[in-house]
Structure 1
Amino acid sequence: MLIALSFVVIIAAIYGLMYLKSKKVPFSKRVVLALVLGIVIGIIFNQLFSASEGALFSDWVGMFGSIYVKLLQMIAMPLILVCVILAFTKIEIKTNVVKIGVTIVSTLIITAGLAGIIGIATGYFANIDGSAFNISQSALSAASDIEKNYVAGGEQALSLPQKIVAIFPSNPFYDLTGQRASATLGVVIFALFLGVAYLRIKDKKPKEALLFKNGMDSIYEIIMSVVRLFLSFAPYAVLTIMTTTVVNNDLSAVWKLAQFFVACYVAMLIMMVIQLAIMAFCGVSPIRYLKKALPVLSFAFITASSAGSMAMNLEMQEELGIPKGISSLSASFATSMGMNGCAGLYPGIIIAIVAMTQGINPLSPQFLFYAAFMIAMTSFGIAGTGGGGTVATIITLSALGLPVGLAGVFIAIEPLVDMGRTVVNLNGGVVASMVTCKTNGVDLREPKDTTLRTEH
């Protein structure tokens, strides 16, 4: 009976969101409302459901959100391929592409190092006693397995040169399926070569080059039409994903590790303020950005998927006036390297906690800046391993000569922390876009001539 009632509640909530759409309620407000509804409904059913009822509810209701995320992931690779190629069809000077790419990668890696410093400082001032945690055998085993695979010579372990080699695709069509660890970067590299080839024939064979350009423009419009269709279902997906996420999580598990959990979100908030400050320096008002980005950030938070949020991210950056070529490069790179949240903040917090258990002051300049450097380098190396926050943490701990066992303790609540980390990762990519625009003379300030906008 309770299960049947829960389905009725979800259907009624979806109908309510559809009604608001028919009344022309803005998309961003419907997404936020869906988020709040999902949390409220999820908390209620979390307390009412038995374990079996929760599983049955999540299987059926969560199915819709899972399908939606898969659809967005399905279109992500073709979208990246086309957008990167369009970056070449809309420029005149070849060296611009090199400058854009270097600026994006440099910004991502530098901000990851900065995020590492923020994480270490937050972990230190949070004063979390790492020695008080009971490192269970399962937590130690999980951490040891990751260390063996990615650090200590396992089959997946790669040296830095091998990681760089692993980025390059041997079969770009296989990478378009997204199956390889560094598939996103592989697709970007393949698109880069296609773009360079276009520039090489642009003057020699203008007829063929124009045909290629027009074809890519047409493909882009078709793909974006698919994306917009998918995005129209976002509020309903947000509702179902948020509801099942809350229903499925043991709320007491968060309470047991509340101090670490709070420290993570405090660090994320500090880093987001810094990111907004950089955006303001680049000419974009933080308030204007947050108004545009709220639906995207909400969706990234709920799904904890940078790739799944990519389509909405690209649309949002286009609304801010960021050229497609820059936004597509930064968004794709930000899912694989320089991840401010996963490879910066999260490892930094755990490094501080572990360092203090070893009698090391994590804020001593020698340790702090060396750790930040290792975090920045690790954020680049992760592109060749496909790892997330825990992998980045364990690799960095090993590089610093610190024990890795404590990282296994936090795996239990990592999915909840990962929701916030994904938002910080996404913001990091947008920062890279804006810094690139700033260095290339693209004005992102909001037009002040209201007369011209009204006439338009």
Structure 2
Amino acid sequence: MQLSAFLLLAIYLFLLWPLSRWHRSRNSLAPAVFAGLLLGILFGGFIHLAEGWGVNTQWVLGWIGLIGDGYVNLLYVMVMPLVLVSILGAVVRVSDTRALGKISVSVLAVLLGTTAISALIGVVIAHLFGLTAEGLVEGAREAARVEVLNERIGRVSELSIPEILTGFIPRNIFFDLAGHRDNSVIAVVIFAVLLGVAALGVRKENPEQGAAIEQFVSVAQAWVMKLVRLVMAFTPYGVMALVTALIADSSWADIFNLFNFVVASFVAIALMFLVHGLLLLINGVSPLHFFAKVWPVLVFAFSSRSSAATIPLNIETQIDELKNAPAIANFSASFGATIGQNGCAGIYPAMLAVMVAVPMGINVFDPVWLTSLIAVVVISSFGIAGVGGGATFAALVVLPTMGLPVTIAALLISVEPLIDMARTALNVNGAMTAGTLTQRWLGGQDSPGEANVV
């Protein structure tokens, strides 16, 4: 082990001390998260430079990854217990089960509706920036990715919409609680709803037993939420570690080669954030107030590149900061992690479709073709969890359905991590927007912290 690598790690560990002091001196998590983000960017850039000096940076990043990946793992381990007890608690306390249907329909309507808008934005931006698949170079890494995609596309293309939706239904709840399937979150939501409805039936037949069930669920909720808050206290340090690794591993040469696509992607994502803000404004919610409350969650989503791992922070922020009802927060966070993802399932496959269609002589603004593309994007976004999750798999569904080759998805692999960070933040923001709008529509104008429907 080089002494320089050891010193580099020592500097990183030393930086955790002022971050800890800053964190403890603030009541809010947001300033510490922002500080962790800045320190991660600066130190990640420094590590990038140190690599050119011959320092063994991979050894340093391995230890930094212990903090970042460890924090993400802790969040992952809480996802299923949190979703289970939170959804169960919401159902057990409901007086009218029709309210759950209203919440689900409202959340899904926003998620899928905004995905349609994001697909249209993706098409327009790709056209304005003149993006095309022509001229993209296929290296060794891209060629290997093509082989993987060709292998997976066969499995994806064999799935029908009914088969995808059937995959949401739990078959072995312990298997899903362990997160072994890509659609395990939705399966746990469905199981929790059924378990809650059964509890309502018990309460109707035997009020004493029903009260005991409700008390048990209440205790379980308090216990799990305490665990969530304990882990969330490590967010600034997790963000710093994750951002450090991302910046240090970024290939600026690859980013420069695909600079036009990177800029176009970020413009499309920024426009979709503006759409979220406009929807909130139209419904009487201040976008500035909203983004001031949720940006620490977006920072973590950006650095972790995982909508699922962000579920605990998503739910906690919706309940505590946005004052959304627990049922609405849980449904929107859970659905939003796997259904109607504006960035991964909306913007990305739409942009790739344009990049491939233009060289083939297709008029991407032909009403029939454009409508078909948006419809396919929306439908596939509802089933992404059933075929594997992620932007690449959204492209595997959309491109073949539109009669387009999937090779383009492999040729952009070098800039995927950078763009995926922003896409994940947009996905999570879409889920929180869906929850906030649902709260506004169903929770009453006068008391946004208490939903009248639950």
- TM-score class normalised by the smaller sequence: over 0.9
Q: In structure 2, give the amino acid aligned to 1:129.
A: T
Aligned to 1:221: 222
Give me the whole-angstrom Cα distance separating, in 1, the residues matched to 2:48 and 2:201.
60
- Aligned with 1:284: secondary structure? coil
Aligned to 2:317: 316
Aligned ranges 1:361-400 → 2 under 5 Å: 361-400=363-402
Asked if 2 retains the 8 angstrom alpha-carbon contact of 1:390 and 1:411, the reply is no
Shift of 1:281: 2.6
Aligned to 2:114: 111
Moved more, 341-350 or 155-164: 155-164
Aligned to 1:450: none
Structure 2: unaligned runs, 5 residues or longer: 450-454
The equivalent position to 1:89 in structure 2, one of 89, 92, 98, is: 92
Shift of 1:381: 1.7
Aligned to 1:406: 408
Deviations 1:256-295 (A, max 9, x none): 1111111111100000000111122333211111111111
Shift of 1:350: 1.1
Aligned to 1:416: 418
Give me the whole-angstrom Cα distance separating, in 1, the residues matched to 2:430 and 2:303.
18
Shift of 1:420: 0.5
The equivalent position to 1:334 in structure 2, one of 333, 336, 344, is: 336
Give me the whole-angstrom Cα distance separating, in 2, the residues matched to 1:445 and 1:277.
22
Shift of 1:208: 1.0
- Aligned with 2:405: secondary structure? coil
Asked if 1 retains the 8 angstrom alpha-carbon contact of 2:440 and 2:448, the reply is no
Aligned to 2:177: 176
Give me the whole-angstrom Cα distance separating, in 1, the residues matched to 2:71 and 2:355.
38
Aligned to 1:269: 270
| Residue 361 to residue 140, structure 1, CA distance change in 2 (3 Å) | farther
Q: In structure 2, give the amino acid aligned to 1:146.
A: L
Aligned to 2:22: 20
Q: In structure 2, give the amino acid aligned to 1:102.
A: V
Asked if 2 retains the 8 angstrom alpha-carbon contact of 1:140 and 1:406, the reply is no
Aligned to 1:230: 231
Shift of 1:135: 3.5
The equivalent position to 1:134 in structure 2, one of 116, 132, 137, is: 137
Deviations 1:317-354 (A, max 9, x none): 11211111111011111111111110001111111111
Asked if 1 retains the 8 angstrom alpha-carbon contact of 2:87 and 2:327, the reply is yes
Shift of 1:30: 1.1
Q: In structure 2, give the amino acid aligned to 1:237.
A: G
Shift of 1:363: 2.3
TM-score (norm 1): 0.93
Q: In structure 1, give the amino acid aligned to 2:42.
A: V
Q: In structure 1, give the amino acid aligned to 2:166.
A: V
Aligned to 2:300: 299
The alignment's C-alpha RMSD in Å is 1.9
Shift of 1:149: 2.4
Aligned ranges 1:139-158 → 2 under 5 Å: 139=142, 142-143=145-146, 145-150=148-153, 152=154, 154=155, 157-158=158-159
Structure 1: unaligned runs, 5 residues or longer: 448-456
- Aligned with 1:308: secondary structure? coil
| Residue 215 to residue 199, structure 1, CA distance change in 2 (3 Å) | same
Give me the whole-angstrom Cα distance separating, in 2, the residues matched to 1:22 and 1:192.
39
Q: In structure 1, give the amino acid aligned to 2:86.
A: C
Deviations 1:125-169 (A, max 9, x none): 11123212124475355345435424x3x3884221111111111
Give me the whole-angstrom Cα distance separating, in 2, the residues matched to 1:21 and 1:31.
8
Q: In structure 2, give the amino acid aligned to 1:283.
A: G
- Aligned with 2:412: secondary structure? helix
Matched, 1:252 2:279: no
Aligned to 1:350: 352
Give me the whole-angstrom Cα distance separating, in 2, the residues matched to 1:25 and 1:251.
37
Give me the whole-angstrom Cα distance separating, in 2, the residues matched to 1:201 and 1:176.
24
Deviations 1:67-119 (A, max 9, x none): 11000100111000011112212321111111211222232122112111111
